Chains A and B, each alone.
Chain A
Amino acid sequence: MLYFPRWKIFLIVAICVLGTILTLPNFLSRETLSALPNWYAHNRVNLGLDLRGGSHLLLEVDMGAVIRDRVEGLVDSARTQLRNDNVGYTAINPGDRGITVQLRDPAQADTAVRALRQLANTIGGGPLGGGQPDLEVTASGGSVTARLSEIALRERATQAIEQSIEIVRRRIDETGVNEPTIARQGADRILVQLPGVEDPDRVKRLLGTTAKMTFRLVDMNADPSAGRAPPGTDILPSAEGGRAQSAYVIRKKVEVDGANLTNATAGSNPQTGEWVVNFEFDSIGARRFADVTRANVGRPFAIVLDNKVISAPVIREPITGGRGQISGNFTAADANDLAVLLRAGALPAPLKVIEERTVGPDLGADSIRAGLMAVGIGFVLVCAYMIAAYGLFGAFACFALLVNTVLTLAALSLLQATLTLPGIAGILLSLGLAVDANILINERVREETKKGRGVFGSVEAGFSRAYSTIVDANLTTAIKMAILFVLGTGAIKGFAVTITFGILISLFTATVLVRLMMVSWLRKTRPAALPV
């Protein structure tokens, strides 16, 4: 027990030295780090958002809107399909998950069912077919119902969230935030973490915009103040402000879709100095845009973003080059943001921020300072107590505690774990818990000494007897922290991680390392009595 082979000593010392080397980058200045190799300089603890400042946003995709979209589309296509198949109907009513068609002649129910079945999209299946329709069409009496199936709903939700994540990533990349985290959470949520963003308002505005852009004709014959839109049109508010109209009557038919844009950039009009957004279409968009503008010279053409009219310029001449310009009383920032939104594409459904946690960088810096001070004072207090209670053996424990802290930091650095404010609390708490092992050992050694055992025998018995107790005591805490880690969120996870590392590492430092120190000391001094 008390004999350490040379290789074991070497291994223990090597682990301690390696840990120290791995921890060092956390304490070096930026200048020193830049001179070091990259892999080594990067081996640092990640600071959590609460310590370096930044924003944590939890977004929810409005799945209701996704389904509503599909249902509205269904109403439109059902109308066309039924007319083509000569099925007479009195009304098409949209519902939660589908539509109900009231037939004029109940005898046509079968034809209507067949017509509506054609509207279904196939989901699942491979290149050879298979899969199943996303609509369940049933007839009862004089009405036919087409409902989206459960699988279809789920499929839509998955698509919507995946697409949303992609768009969110593109939009955030455009803002130049460093190292953002964008991750799916649960069925309909996206977690966005933005380190160093002090004012998340701009990001939230960018993410809160669906950015569904359409080019539609203005209905010149209707009066927007009439309050009732003629069939096939919408009354949409204007986003222009100033001298422009406050609302427009806009045809429902989408002439050109924003999805056909290939590029958008902010720029200024050389004549007026006004900020504008320049855009380019792909070939399909360019052709359609040319056709529409050729056919409608002299009429206003509305650019609609998220059901607001950005501007409705009058078409002066056909635009055939596939390029255009949006003007509308923009500031430089507005123009830039709009360009970002158009480039990144439209979200399939609106996103809501359902949780926000933002910490300013100076508060983060204050927290680090307070945390480091607390850890420093805690360390000194615990060491003072250990030395007062156990003398030299207490001092051994203190050295082990120092190594424990260093190795914990090394483990956090190696795994690129994130250190949070509760994480610092975890380090502090594990200082207190780690010396528990040494207290157990030292108390055992004392007991054995009192029983009249010799110096070496007492130490040996102390270690071997205390060991199973130590393992039991620490494992229970480790189990709890594992639960906390699995169920906890963000900052709480950090607490669980640091405690778990601190405790597991203490099994090495408090028993193996301390034993090595004690044995070396015993061999060198050959004391007649133990100093505990």
Chain B
Amino acid sequence: MFRLRLVPDNTNIQFMRGRHAGLIVSAFLSIASVVLFFYPGLNYGIDFRGGIVIEARTPQAADFASLRHTLNQLNMGQVALQEFGSPQDVLIRLERQPGDDAAQQVAADKVRATLAQEIPGTTVRRVEAVGASVSGELFFNGMLALGLALLAMLVYIWFRFEWQFGLGAIVTLLLDVTKVVGFYAITGMQFNLTAIAAILTIMGYSTNDKVVVYDRMRENLRIYKKMPLRELIDRSINETLNRTLGTSMSTLLSILPLAFFGGEALQDFGIVLIFGIFLATSSSIFIAAPILLFLGENRLRRNAPAESAAPAANPTP
């Protein structure tokens, strides 16, 4: 009977041989991401920067040149026009208007009035106007959510496993998150509340993946009392490889439609999640496991035969 196997049974890849390469590549990518975060920086959406987004549908295909000309005459700073979906759909982005929160409202109303006057029959399908004080708070809350999530993961894994596992998972998560931020910087995708949700989702998925691999390592630590840690980690990864890739596959398949049919907001979300799935899967193998190997050598496992009778340094709680 045909069965789709992502990796053949009895695969035995010595992943830990590539541990230095994995860590170096990962560290490099993360550092590059941090640099990209500062320069050129992220393309913050109006959630975090304030400003106005208006989505309009014109009766005929929109004439971008004249529309741009008309809107620029309103003197409201840089006006970004973008077609999306059909040629009739226009997305108008305005930077945050100088003045207080209410200035956004005034400007949004002006654009609406101008659209109605210049292109009769235009329907405004969506308006979002966010003032400075709100955007500042949204940003703070978003960052707070990311911080708390990291902390919660640390506590949870620490509680459920030995501390080496917790530290390994957190370092991996940090590396993952910086890379996602770098992804936003490189692609220029809008960094907004949806982006925070995407990052938290990727963190959730990534931890989920690590927990499964760690779980197997812990189990194997009990079964193979004398196996060197390096061999044991490789064995554990290989044993769970089909599951790791299988789950990545099923999640990927569920997210793909989002990237294709999700509409403007969800499309970006879908694309980032796809990136995140690859990231989380690879970091389970190439980052989380090597870190554990470094931290756990001589601690989780007594290699020397003379010490094999000694109790485990950190019994499972």
Contacts and interface: CB of A to CB of B under 8 A. Distances in A.
A472 B211 contact: yes
A366 B263 CA distance: 9
A377 B194 contact: no
Given A378-B256, A385-B249, A488 B145 contact: yes
A428 B197 contact: no
Contacts of A386: 250
B297 interface: no
Q: Main SS of the interface on chain B?
A: helix
Given A476-B207, A488-B145, A373 B257 contact: yes
Nearest to B100: A352
A468 interface: yes
Interface in B126-140: 126-131, 133-134, 138
Interface string A437-458: 0011001000100100000000
B29 interface: no
Contact of B197 (A360, A381, A422): A422
Contacts of B27: none
B101 to A, nearest CB: 4
A438 to B, nearest CB: 9
A360 B126 contact: yes
Interface residues of A, number: 74
Contacts of A382: 250, 253-254
B41 interface: no
Contact of B253 (A371, A378, A474, A532): A378
A352 B265 CA distance: 27
A354 B105 CA distance: 8
B205 A433 contact: yes
B125 interface: yes
Nearest to B130: A355
B278 to A, nearest CB: 14
Contact of A487 (B108, B148, B265): B148
Contacts of A487: 141-142, 144-145, 148
Interface stretch (B15-23, B73-81, B239-247, B307-315): B239-247
Given A370-B262, A421-B266, A469-B211, A447 B239 contact: yes
Nearest to B85: A366
Given A440-B243, A472-B215, A356 B261 contact: no
Contacts of B112: 201
B207 A357 contact: no
Nearest to B214: A472
Nearest to B55: A363
A356 B253 contact: no
Interface stretch (B149-157, B228-236, B298-306): B149-157
B208 A436 contact: yes
B68 interface: no
Contacts of B12: none
Nearest to B89: A363
A512 interface: no
A432 B145 CA distance: 24
B134 to A, nearest CB: 5
Contacts of A468: 215
A473 interface: yes
Contacts of B204: 476-477, 480-481
B255 interface: yes
A391 B266 contact: no
B298 to A, nearest CB: 26
Contacts, number: 228
Interface in B199-241: 200-201, 203-205, 207-209, 211-212, 215-216, 219, 239-240
A358 interface: yes
A359 B126 CA distance: 4
Given A432-B255, A487-B141, A388 B4 contact: yes
A66 to B, nearest CB: 17
B152 A488 contact: no
A284 to B, nearest CB: 35
A489 interface: yes
A532 B216 CA distance: 21
Contacts of A476: 153, 156-157, 204, 207-208, 211
A183 to B, nearest CB: 16
Interface in B1-21: 1-6, 9
B253 A381 contact: yes
A475 B156 contact: yes
Contacts of A359: 125-126
Contact of A492 (B156, B194, B254): B194
A443 B246 contact: yes
B160 interface: yes
Nearest to B247: A436
A355 B253 contact: no
Interface in A455-489: 465, 468-469, 472-477, 479-481, 483-484, 487-489
Nearest to A481: B204
Contact of B153 (A356, A366, A479): A479
A508 interface: no
Contacts of A379: 254
Contact of B105 (A204, A391, A484): A204
Given A375-B257, A377-B261, A421-B265, 17 more contacts: A60-B101, A353-B102, A354-B104, A356-B104, A358-B124, A381-B254, A388-B3, A389-B3, A389-B4, A422-B194, A439-B246, A477-B204, A479-B153, A483-B145, A488-B196, A491-B193, A492-B194
Q: Sort A-B residue pairs by CB-CB distance and give the 8 closest, nearest first.
A: A432-B254, A432-B251, A354-B101, A381-B253, A374-B257, A477-B204, A388-B4, A363-B125
15 contacts: A355-B129, A356-B105, A357-B129, A359-B126, A370-B261, A370-B266, A378-B253, A429-B255, A435-B250, A439-B246, A439-B250, A472-B215, A483-B149, A487-B148, A496-B197
